[in-house]
Amino acid sequence: MEKITLYIDEDLSDRIAVALRSKGFDVKSAHEVNMRGKSDREQFEYSIKQKRVILTRNVKHFVTLQREYFRSGLQHNGILVTDYLPLKELIRRLTKFFSERRVSEMINALDWLQNYK
């Protein structure tokens, strides 16, 4: 079974990627791949090219992108939205997300990290 890979938007700390990789997850951060300062659309397109779910706090812009892709019939690998949480709680919820979701379930989906309390 194919496991989800994650791309972390620049609005979140790269420490999340480091912590998740130490647990064996395949995670990249915008900070690590020279994507700082890029637009939300560019971040989203990067995640799609890399076949990764994107994690972001930017609800407004990514919900809009989700709708635009849906209306255009374009496919993406998933959007996971979070609110402001302490690092330890983010890692705990993301670990649960990785254990409960599969790649096929995230195709064209928008999910909320609050669902993984």
- Quote the CA–CA distance of 45 and 52 in Å, as a whole number: 10
The rounded mean pLDDT for the chain is 96
Rg of the chain's alpha carbons, rounded to an integer? 13
Read off the amino acid at residue 6.
Answer: L
Domain ranges of the chain: 6-116
pLDDT at 2: 86
Apex CA 25: angle with CA 19 and CA 27, to 5°?
A: 75
Rounded to two decimals, the pTM is 0.95
Which token pair is 34? 């020279």
Contacts of 107 (CB under 8 A, 6+ apart): 75, 76, 77, 78
Question: Which alpha helices (DSSP H) does 13-110 contain, by range?
Answer: 15-22, 40-49, 59-72, 87-100, 103-106
Average pLDDT over every residue of 54-62: 95
Using an 8 Å Cβ cutoff, are 38 and 30 in contact? yes
Q: Is the pLDDT of residue 1 over 70?
A: no
